[in-house]
Amino acid sequence: MIDISIIIVNYNVKEYIIDCIQSIKRWTPEKISYEIIVIDNKSEDGSVGALTSKFPEITIIKNKQNIGFSRAINQGAELAQGTHLFILNPDTLLIEDSLTKLVSFLNEHNRIGIVGPALVNQNEKVQQSFWKFPTLLTAVLEIYHLDFLNKYKNYIYRNKSEYIYADSVSGGAFFLKKSLFNELNGFIDNLFWMEDMDFCKRASSLGYKVAYLSQTKLIHYIGKSSEKNWVVTISNRLLSKIKYFKLHHGSIDVFLLVLSIYLLVILKSTFLILLSPFGSIYRKKLSGYLTTLKKLITGQYQVVC
């Protein structure tokens, strides 16, 4: 019996995923049995060849197209043999024996279904990786870059010296029992950016608790896959908020959120049109917002992959 199946979705981040897997092998003791499953979403940077050469023992699923994060995770979970799943971003590094701490913690707390470790940057500054479920107000403040006004959204007044209960934790390092993943039929395929929060929401509706465990930490470089394609990043980030609200909120909240995103997209597009002559990054972001606008106009809230 395998203790943990580590599932990693890769998209053109060869240099990060190799370091990630090496850190897993370095810090995980022999007493923990684990497997690594990599789902590659049609990378074009030589990722698959490098992984096959350096780590012949891992399982690699090679997709013929970028099917998105959620569908890829579900692919990996279907093959997973472990009693626990550790959904891990490729731009992370283990810097201690986190797997022992995570599996022990989950086994010692029967009411907890999902646990997330602390995520830190290269200088070990703690990143925000656990949140309350969004309200219309907190969602609008976030998309308008006013998240600093969300005083209670991020549990900033809670003591986090050991662990706390949270509504949701980051899908960048998401640890749970496989039985719970199966009970909820995995991630919703066409969510991207809100799949972790949606999963926690559905788990909580069944009575499971979610915990943030500050007693162990991982380095997270943040968004290295998403930087490769701004059209995917921008459109998915905004449209998935609408899809999440359609799943878990009333029609008035959905309408007001869509209206807020319309306004944001128009403002951003206008600003980026003015900046587009000064750099390709502005043109790429403009394309992302124009793609989002097209989806909004046509009512197609499907996630772009």
- Residue 118 inside a domain? The answer is yes
Mean pLDDT of 117-131: 91
Match 């279907």 to its residue by tokens. Answer: 78
Residue percentage of the chain with pLDDT more than 90: 75
Mean pLDDT of 128-146: 92
- Residue 104 inside a domain? The answer is yes
Residue 166 sits in the same domain as residue 259: no
Categorize the per-residue pLDDT at 159 as very low, low, confident or very high, splitting at 50, 70 and 90.
low
CA-CA-CA-CA torsion sign (107, 121, 195, 205): positive
Residue 118 sits in the same domain as residue 63: yes
Residue 24 sits in the same domain as residue 145: yes
Tokens representing residue 203 in the block: 């788990």
Could you report the per-residue pLDDT of 3-50, keeping only the tens digit for each? 999 999 999 999 999 999 999 999 999 999 999 999 999 999 999 999
* Segments forming the whole domain that contains residue 243: 229-298
- What is the predicted pLDDT for the residue at 222? 76
Contact partners, residue 296, CB within 8 Å, separation at least 6: 258, 261, 262, 265
Residue 154 sits in the same domain as residue 75: yes
Question: What is the C-alpha separation between 159 and 147, in angstroms, rounded?
Answer: 21
Residue 112 sits in the same domain as residue 167: yes
Which of 182, 201, 220 terminates a domain? The answer is 220
Residue 91 sits in the same domain as residue 197: yes
Which of 220, 241, 273 terminates a domain? The answer is 220
Could you report the per-residue pLDDT of 5-17, keeping only the tens digit for each? 999 999 999 999 9
Could you report the per-residue pLDDT of 48-107, keeping only the tens digit for each? 999 999 999 999 999 999 888 999 999 999 999 999 999 999 999 999 999 999 999 999
- Residue 304 inside a domain? The answer is no
Mean pLDDT of 200-217: 96
- Residue 18 inside a domain? The answer is yes
- Residue 305 inside a domain? The answer is no
Tokens representing residue 293 in the block: 């606008």
CA-CA-CA-CA torsion sign (228, 229, 234, 239): negative
Which of 303, 247, 237 has the alpha carbon at shortest distance from 268?
237
Which of 183, 178, 162 has the alpha carbon at shortest distance from 117?
162
Residue 207 sits in the same domain as residue 261: no
- What is the predicted pLDDT for the residue at 124? 85
Mean pLDDT of 133-154: 86
Contact partners, residue 152, CB within 8 Å, separation at least 6: 132
Could you report the per-residue pLDDT of 218-242, keeping only the tens digit for each? 999 976 555 557 787 888 889 999 9
Which of 199, 154, 192 has the alpha carbon at shortest distance from 174?
199
Residue 40 sits in the same domain as residue 152: yes
Which of 174, 196, 220 terminates a domain? The answer is 220
- What is the predicted pLDDT for the residue at 301? 64
Give the CATH number of the domain where residue 90 resides: 3.90.550.10
Q: What is the chain's mean pLDDT, rounded? A: 91
> How many domains are there within the chain?
2
Residue 100 sits in the same domain as residue 140: yes
Residue 77 sits in the same domain as residue 203: yes
With beta carbons less than 8 A apart as the criterion, state whether 91 and 221 touch.
yes
Residue 171 sits in the same domain as residue 31: yes
3-class SS letters over 93-161: EECCCHHHHHHHHHHHCCCEEEEEEEEECCCCCECCCEECCCCHHHHHHHHCCCHHHCCCCCCCCCCCC
Question: What is the C-alpha separation between 174 and 198, in angstroms, rounded?
Answer: 13
- Residue 303 inside a domain? The answer is no
- Residue 287 inside a domain? The answer is yes
**Which segments of the chain does DSSP mark as H helices, in order?**
14-27, 47-54, 69-79, 98-108, 136-143, 178-183, 195-205, 230-248, 251-275, 280-298
The CA distances from residue 6 to 15, 77, 169, 194, 233, in Å, are 18, 9, 17, 20, 24
Q: Please state the pTM of the whole predicted model.
A: 0.91
Residue 150 sits in the same domain as residue 75: yes
Given a cut of 70, whether residue 115 has pLDDT beyond it is yes
| Cα end-to-end distance, the chain, whole Å | 35
